[in-house]
């Protein structure tokens, strides 16, 4: 509990600094929320399988509690129909607003429509509805394409050094998420933006489907590397797959730190504690980072403002431009990444 309290203290400080100094043209500074006693918010999430969702859950629920807001938490356990019924139950209980992490983009459209029909403002955290969404919602989401592009660009610069020595083109592989999730689509697009920018550097990329499932990723990655043992550049669409990647590369003698012969140039996206640890050990070259603290604060501020304004169908996209932490910037920017904050608190030792 002491560690967790310390984590929250750090998180609040980080949010405060970001609110005061963040000036990206893609995002707006988050105002400071005030006490909101008497309100009840339904927080419907799809699971807590990854570090990102665990950290996001903590940031949202504890900050709402600090504001005096009652929180009804419901876990859909990766079942979109269950989540829809849970949200309907929240609405029947008369909640003032809803924060949702949907199972996928299509189910998000349905649930947002349910909230709109009942005049309950709703905010969607980090996993946006499908592009054809006709309904109104606050959508706070990382710019996955740009963040992935930033990380892969650094990996490409490392690849250029390698080709100068070997004279052989790089064989890239991407672990693709569930393409029903717009986040997965954006990350894949960001990867290809860089690969296609350097046609003389890369061979045709190999795609490995994961469906956001570690077992599926393991089976498909093993098959890909058995069929293509020259793969020497891997981008994972989510950091939670690093243990899977290691379990495949290590028996092949390809789990090697940067700067040593046989190193596979490695990068991903999220910014979790495992990625931080692996960067410190030299195995991961770059991580695209979702700015979790900005996203959590922006979600709460926008939703509470809508409730106070009696705006029952707020409709706004709030982007998180994120950034890339690389082996070139790790020494002086690591604490900007939420996973490094967790790592410094001993999160991986729990």
> Residue 230: its pLDDT value, please?
95
Both tokens of 26, joined, read 């893609």
> Residue 26: its pLDDT value, please?
27
Is 170 buried (19+), middle (13-18) or exposed (0-12) by CB count in 10 A? buried
Both tokens of 299, joined, read 């979600």
> Residue 8: its pLDDT value, please?
38
294 touches 54 (CB < 8 A): no
- Tokens 């979600």 belong to which residue? 299
- In this prediction the pTM is 0.73
Cα(279)–Cα(108) distance, integer angstroms: 34
> Residue 29: its pLDDT value, please?
37
Q: Which residues pair with 234 in a beta bridge?
A: 173, 266
pLDDT < 50 positions in the chain: 1-32
Sheet with 172-176, edge to edge strand ranges? 206-209, 172-176, 233-236, 265-270, 286-289, 323-326
99 touches 314 (CB < 8 A): no
Helix 2-21 with 292-308: angle, nearest 10 deg? 70
Three-class SS of residue 77?
A: coil
> Residue 336: its pLDDT value, please?
86
> Residue 37: its pLDDT value, please?
67
> Residue 330: its pLDDT value, please?
96
Write the pLDDT tens digit of every residue in 57-93. Answer: 887 888 788 888 999 999 999 899 999 999 999 999 9
**How is 279-346 classified by DSSP, letter by letter?**
HHTTS--EEEE--HHHHHHHHHHHHHHHHHTT-SS--EEEEE--EEEETTTHHHHGGGSHHHHHHHTT
Write the pLDDT tens digit of every residue in 242-279. Answer: 999 999 999 999 999 999 999 999 999 999 999 999 99
Cα(203)–Cα(112) distance, integer angstroms: 42
Cα(19)–Cα(65) distance, integer angstroms: 20
CB contact set of 85 (below 8 Å; sequence gap of 6+): none
CA 105 from chain center: how many Å?
Answer: 15
């Amino acid at each position: 509990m002491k560690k967790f309290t310390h984590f929250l203290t750090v998180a609040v400080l980080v949010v405060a600094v970001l609110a005061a100094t963040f000036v990206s043209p893609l995002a707006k500074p988050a105002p400071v929320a005030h006490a909101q006693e008497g309100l009840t918010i339904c927080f419907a999430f799809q699971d807590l399988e990854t570090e990102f969702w665990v950290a996001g859950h903590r940031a949202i629920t504890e900050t709402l509690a600090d504001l005096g807001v009652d929180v009804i938490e419901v876990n859909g356990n990766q079942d979109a129909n269950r989540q829809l019924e849970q949200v309907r139950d929240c609405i029947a209980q008369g909640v003032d607003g809803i924060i949702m992490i949907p199972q996928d983009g299509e189910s998000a459209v349905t649930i947002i429509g349910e909230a709109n029909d009942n005049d309950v403002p709703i905010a969607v955290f980090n996993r946006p509805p499908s592009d054809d969404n006709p309904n109104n919602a606050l959508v706070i989401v990382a710019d996955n394409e740009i963040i992935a592009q930033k990380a892969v660009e650094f990996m490409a610069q490392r690849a250029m050094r390698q080709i100068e020595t070997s004279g052989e083109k790089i064989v890239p592989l991407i672990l693709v998420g569930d393409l029903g999730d717009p986040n997965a689509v954006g990350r894949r697009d960001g990867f290809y933006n860089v690969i296609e920018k350097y046609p003389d550097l890369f061979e045709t990329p190999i795609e490995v489907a994961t469906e956001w499932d570690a077992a599926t990723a393991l089976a498909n990655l093993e098959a890909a590397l058995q069929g293509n043992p020259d793969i020497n550049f891997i981008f994972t669409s989510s950091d939670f797959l690093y243990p899977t990647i290691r379990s495949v590369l290590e028996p092949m003698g390809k789990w090697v730190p940067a700067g040593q012969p046989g190193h596979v140039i490695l990068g991903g996206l999220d910014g979790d504690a495992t990625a931080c640890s692996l960067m410190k050990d030299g195995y991961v070259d770059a991580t695209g980072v979702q700015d979790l603290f900005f996203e959590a604060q922006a979600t709460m501020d926008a939703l509470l403002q809508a409730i106070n304004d009696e705006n029952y169908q707020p409709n706004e996209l709030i982007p998180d431009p994120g950034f890339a932490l690389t082996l070139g910037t790790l020494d002086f920017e690591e604490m900007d990444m939420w996973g490094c904050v967790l790592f410094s608190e001993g999160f991986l030792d729990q």
